Structure 1
Amino acid sequence: MTVAPGSPSAGRAKLADVAALAGVSVGTASKALNGGGRMRPETRQRVLDAVERLGFRPNQQAQNLHTGRSWTVGLMTTDGIGRFSTPVLLGAEDALGAGKISVLLCDTRGDTIREQHHLQNLVDRRVDGIIVTGRRTDARPPLKGIEPMPTVYALSPSTDPADTSVVSDDRGAHLAIEHLLSTGRTRIAHVTGPEHHAAARDRARHAVDALERSSLELATGRVHFGEWSEAWGRRAADAILRTARDTDAIFCGNDQIARGVADTLRERGRDVPGDIAIVGYDNWDTMALACRPPLTTIDMDLMEIGRIAALKLLEAIDDGPAPGVHTVPCRLVVRESS
């Protein structure tokens, strides 16, 4: 009885079987699978077709020795909760998965000793590169002791301009203010997080700039810096209602603050958006969709940040790094609150 290639009883297919079926040499088949060597596209496709027909699975260890790569990438995060790092990770996996590259996730919890421990493990595993991310947009010191391993910083940029960083352009505040102005709002207040956070400072600066371009200023004459919390949003909304009763819109530095603002306005009998419109920041579904009414907000496109970071890392692995800060645009998501 003749056993058909690729049938369960044929045993595990070997590279020589793939080469024979594709009508090429073993060396050519190997180059086609590793993406190396110059060959006609139809030749490479014949090899790939033979791989699929035979159910061939390459020996990963042998491939690693041949290419000098582990086909793994480390993703190091300080965001233990995963609110920001999870979308970045998903975006990175989308880009890396297409190349069959595995991702090793390490949570440093913001601890430098833990970071060094994870870093040493990644180096010992001979990962091809590292993506570093976090829960804040503040610049962070670069990793030490990993030169020349390719490294890309996502969301939280490196303080070293020679490194490769992929960040949100953080001009979402302009989108928020322009949207509110387009709906006829002119008395706009701004409530945001701690002033020592780069995200709070940057969003406040862009909000003020956008208002000044229209010859306007903040309704209360100042930025309300505080906390990234609903409780702070509730307190700040009360303060705004006391000091600037003609306020017709509130732009918030994140969605948690915005939801707290919405709660207070509802309790005080102010209609949203009829009396006062609200715009948040982050497009965190848990907050934005549960808000009453659902929240207009700015989306930083964290998955795209992760995807671009992964592509930049692949470029660095293959062709060398592209130093500098690369930005990903924000987008406005309009819902009932405005």
Structure 2
Amino acid sequence: MDDRAPRAATGRAKRGARVTIHDVAKASSVSVTTASQALSGQGRMALATRERVKAAAKALSFRPNAIARALLKQRSFTIGLLTNDTYGRFTLPVMAGISEALVDRGVSVFLCSVERDPVIGQSHVDAMLEKQVDGIIASGKRLDSRLPVDLSGVDVPVVYAYCEGPEGSVGFVSDDGQGARLAVAHLVDRGCRRIAHVTGPEDFAVVHRRAEGFAAALAAAGLAPVRAEPLIGDWSEAWGFAAAGALLEGPAAPPDAVFCGNDQIARGLIDALTLRGLRVPQDVAVIGFDNWEIFAAATRPPLTTVDMNLKDLGRHAGLTLLDLVEGRPVSPGIRKLPCRLVVRASSG
């Protein structure tokens, strides 16, 4: 068993000069080649040796020279992230997941917004390729739309995250139907039996996926919806407020729970119910979708909602792109990742 501890920092490191791989090799009593292989995960060596080198590098605050590493690996250790989500509502969590997944592997991410302009989009792609990025992740603000730039001809790997890619691409999306089933199952477990669905514009694919999940979960519980069809509107608090009137003033019995297509609709609905003297969740339980915390946590009462796990989606996209960059096989197709339910006070 090799139990030699890393030696003390060299005089050069103590004086604040840049720590090199030679310093790490000397401190861990191995050759420069062995030290380099240990830190890059290459070569064959005893686990104790690899761990000793890593401990020495950490003790010396060693940071590999990016240029030397790039020349050695013939890689830039950067990836580009393209998006048309100018507000960052969906892309920023995705980017956080990508960055967390890749930072320990020495890979940096830089973000470019293509907006709706194909000329701007192409200029960003050209700039990324000039910087010799190892790959590109395309991300957007809705699952059923493409970025205004064609990435099919680029000579680096491309992964799509929360946007539509071409046939045969590798992509990651949230499983909105599964998220809707989670929400309805929670309401049923709570004892709700008259459950309505208020959602956004019908030209969004997620509206249909969430509605299908809603209907499937009700059917599995042996329940019928309060209304034969979901109430369709837009993604706004104003629509949620207006929808409350339609639910309470129609001929059908009023609901004891409402599953909303997003958090803004849910917040507007709760405001309207409160103004009408109804208590949430005692009289009507409410669940949203997205877990946009600026809305969900500040709603009164705080909103139970479905989280699309966008950060986890970004992590999977980043690691998959890295697999492609490093030549590991990746099957084409769309991966649906599960949502999770964040339970707060609005559902009891």
State TM-score, norm by structure 2: 0.89
1:123 to 114, 129, 134: 129
Aligned to 1:86: 92
Aligned to 1:63: 69
Seen in structure 2, the aligned counterparts of structure 1 residues 51 and 94 have a Cα distance that, compared at 3 Å, is same
Aligned to 1:284: 292
Output the CA distance in 1 between the equivalents of 2:16 and 2:279.
Answer: 72
- The code of the aligned residue for 1:311 comes to L
Aligned to 1:261: 269
Aligned to 1:234: 241
Aligned to 1:208: 215
Seen in structure 2, the aligned counterparts of structure 1 residues 18 and 251 have a Cα distance that, compared at 3 Å, is closer
Output the CA distance in 1 between the equivalents of 2:314 and 2:17.
Answer: 40
- Greater CA drift, 265-274 or 53-62: 53-62
Aligned to 1:335: 344
- The code of the aligned residue for 2:74 comes to G
Displacement of 1:10 after TM fit? 7.6
Output the CA distance in 2 between the equivalents of 1:75 and 1:96.
Answer: 13
Output the CA distance in 1 between the equivalents of 2:155 and 2:329.
Answer: 10
Give the alignment of 1:38-49 within 5 angstroms: 38-49=44-55
Output the CA distance in 2 between the equivalents of 1:138 and 1:99.
Answer: 32
1:326 to 309, 322, 335: 335
Consecutive unaligned residues of structure 1, counting only runs of 5 or more, are none
- The code of the aligned residue for 2:81 comes to L
2:204 to 190, 194, 197: 197
Consecutive unaligned residues of structure 2, counting only runs of 5 or more, are 1-8
Please tell me whether the aligned partners of residues 84 and 114 of structure 2 are also in contact (alpha carbons under 8 angstroms).
yes
Please tell me whether the aligned partners of residues 226 and 253 of structure 2 are also in contact (alpha carbons under 8 angstroms).
no
Seen in structure 2, the aligned counterparts of structure 1 residues 262 and 125 have a Cα distance that, compared at 3 Å, is same
CA RMSD of aligned residues (A): 2.2
Seen in structure 2, the aligned counterparts of structure 1 residues 72 and 263 have a Cα distance that, compared at 3 Å, is same
Aligned to 1:303: 311
Alignment length (residue pairs)? 335
Output the CA distance in 2 between the equivalents of 1:50 and 1:177.
Answer: 53
3-state SS of 2:231 partner: coil
Please tell me whether the aligned partners of residues 5 and 54 of structure 1 are also in contact (alpha carbons under 8 angstroms).
no
Output the CA distance in 1 between the equivalents of 2:10 and 2:346.
Answer: 64
Aligned to 1:173: 180
Give the alignment of 1:102-141 within 5 angstroms: 102-138=108-144, 140=146
Aligned to 2:324: 316
- The code of the aligned residue for 1:272 comes to V
Displacement of 1:95 after TM fit? 0.5
Displacement of 1:312 after TM fit? 1.1
3-state SS of 1:278 partner: strand
- The code of the aligned residue for 1:273 comes to P
Please tell me whether the aligned partners of residues 134 and 157 of structure 2 are also in contact (alpha carbons under 8 angstroms).
yes
